[in-house]
Amino acid sequence: MNCKVKYLWLAFVLAFATKAAADEGMWMLNKIDPKTAEAMQSLGCKLSPLDLYNPNGESLKDAVVDFGDFCSGVVVSPNGLVFTNHHCGYGAIQSLSTPEDDILKNGFVAQSYEEERPVPGLFVRFLLRTEECSSRVMMALDSIYRANPTVPAREIDRDKLDSICNAVEKEYQLAHPDLDCQLKSYYGGNAYYISFYKVYEDVRLVFTATESLGKFGGDTDNWMWPRQTCDFSVFRIYASRDGEPAPYSKENVPLRPKRYAKVSLDGYEAGDFCMTVGYPGSTSRYLSSWGIRERVEDRNISVIQVRGKKQDVWKRWMQADRNIALKYASKWAGSSNYWKNSIGMNKAIANLGVIGQKQQTEQQIKSWYEGREDLKRRFENVFPQLEKAYAERREAVHASGFFNETFVRGIEVARVAQKLNRLPQDADSSQIAATRQSLEKFFKDYEPRVDEETMAVLLQNYREQVTSAKYQPACYQTIDSLFGGDCRAYAADLFKRTICKDISCLDALLADSTLRDSDPALLYEQGIPDMSMQIGGSMREQNNVIGQGERLLTQALLEMDQEMPHYSDANFSMRLSYGFIQDYTAGGTHFDFYTAAPSLLAKAERQNEVEDYRLEADIVELMKRGQWGRYADKRTGQMHLCFISNNDITGGNSGSPMFNGRGELIGLAFDGNWEAMSGDISFDNSLQRCIGVDIRFVLFLIEHWGKSDRLIREILNQR
């Protein structure tokens, strides 16, 4: 396909990309056409497309932020106050906590600007605009085809395409040095857009409720409905006196944002319009049936199996020692979240027959192009090539999943050894200072005794799960030759002799270069990159075939169903999802669309049997008092805690503002429901729900638990 044809195809794709169903879809704000706007307005939206996205003026998008490159957030005051989820702020809160000042457990309320606590490394991004740049990428790709006319398209590997995207992105970055420019692919590599962001690096913690409230229900209720979790935290963005991004300084002042969201106390009813705007991370809804099977049987299995082992070790230590619990709190939250996500996804994919549904779609594509020679030439080889490539790389994918969960995300000492191994012996002062700073941050939340046991368990587990010798890192030669195959003895010896247990390791290495050839942790780490490259290299050819095949399969589906709504998979760019407040029924059980205070108290009564339902006595008393004031729901008279809508949600959406039809804030999205955990692969309109914390619950706690009248006045714009 030449460049001109490719570009016409992209225009064709995008023309049909915004005919949205009411509740499914993660839609680009800059591609909302009149038909989509009409559909939204029919559900109760009072905003025009220009009210939502206006790159040349003020619009609702200007109140929404990328929070730290992993969550979403919303500006709620004229002084740069930002709401996000508690679990999004969890790492920052944990990093500021100490055993003597345990704000993670006890909560934190800044009573003045001076008390607001800087969070090193935390930032927010504001989207300025998004522009289509497909033609630039495609013309560069076309030059590769012209230079290699005999090379099949499937052999133009991913590295070449990535290098093209990086080069184009760099051109934009050079032209806009004061902005963060991000180029990303859409529609499975069939379109490309560049987004321009302004980044603020001085972000400070303002308010967090107790961990018992912010994580109420914990792992027990994670990905479940009904919920009572008050999943919010509050930060503030600071800027230079002229309102521009600046590193942390005492001279910085609260940001005066271009736009902030008005908070509504009016509540909602079933059927009311609801819209989320945020940064969904990743979905794979165009993935082939072979890709889904690989996700279930190989990729998810390694997450479930290895993290289960690791978390068992961590949990024993965390329960025994609060100091260790504090160090590992954020790590545990991140690990367990996607551990349970993978369990739920596999279960839902099986229960809903997702692979069978995808196979039916693929059969429809085959029937569609059958008898049309032009289409047949383009698409008929896709299916056998995909099936063959997925089968050929299965062993390597299985090994790769267990390898990454064990050696990259599991055993922590390798991260220290990696930094030391990469530091030149004659490093200059700036290199040493940067490494020291990084290691100090790491060791703040590290316990060698925990890691030693984790290493012993995971090394043994990897050997049992990945039996082929070609996928065994070099450390197993040492385990077998010196320790008789005993992984626990190997781990004990390594931690007894290594320097990589505290910050003194840096000075020890700089003083004695021979440690590079004798320290057991440094030697252990040296074998990890080699094996990673070996595993990756063994499936490079199949990866290229699969990448090209999945792109063509997406193209075929879009072309076949050109009258149907299609949106691009999530890729952590700003998206809008719209629908309405709605209950649901699953497995014979009906679930209402909101929870109220009595349900929280009912769970708290079970706290002796379920640790995740434990609440402090003063919080229980506050909720029992039932004096909700202006935060009571006008219809029920109760304090509503959480609610659900049929908006589309995935990881990264956490912290996304949930707006009513007037663009007013009614909640913060924080989770999806267990019955629809296959949503990243396949959306089920009857089941998938977005769970949010009611903004009235948030404000009630700020006012009545936190006693922070200053924040309430600021948020509600009261004098």
Flag whether pLDDT at 21 surpasses 50: no
Question: CB–CB of 595/227 below 8 Å?
Answer: yes
- Band of the pLDDT at 11, cuts 50, 70, 90? very low
pLDDT at 225: 97
Task: Look at the pTM and tell me if it is higher than 0.85.
Answer: yes
288 assigned to active site: no
Using CA atoms, how far residue 36 sits from 28, 302, 400, 617, 699, in Å, is 11, 40, 42, 49, 33
231 assigned to active site: yes
87 assigned to active site: yes
- Band of the pLDDT at 157, cuts 50, 70, 90? low
The H or E element containing residue 665 is strand 665-672
Pick the catalytic residue: 87, 398, 566, 640?
87
Question: CB–CB of 261/705 below 8 Å?
Answer: no
**What percentage of the chain reaches a pLDDT higher than 70?**
94
Q: Which residues pair with 113 in a beta bridge?
A: none
392-448 per-position pLDDT tens digit? 999 999 999 999 999 999 999 999 999 999 999 999 999 999 999 999 999 999 999
Flag whether pLDDT at 155 surpasses 80: no
pLDDT at 144: 66
Across 269-296, average pLDDT: 96
Domain boundaries, the chain: 289-352+394-538
319-363 per-position pLDDT tens digit? 999 999 999 999 999 999 999 999 999 999 999 999 999 999 999
Of 304, 277, 227, 245, residue with least CA distance to 671: 227
pLDDT at 59: 98
- Band of the pLDDT at 200, cuts 50, 70, 90? very high
pLDDT at 158: 67
Pick the catalytic residue: 23, 202, 221, 231?
231
- Band of the pLDDT at 458, cuts 50, 70, 90? very high
> Average pLDDT, whole number, for the chain?
93
Compute the distance between CA of residue 132 and CA of residue 194 in angstroms, rounded to an integer. Answer: 6
Total H helices, total E strands in the chain: 28, 20
Alpha-carbon torsion (473, 479, 481, 486), positive or negative: negative
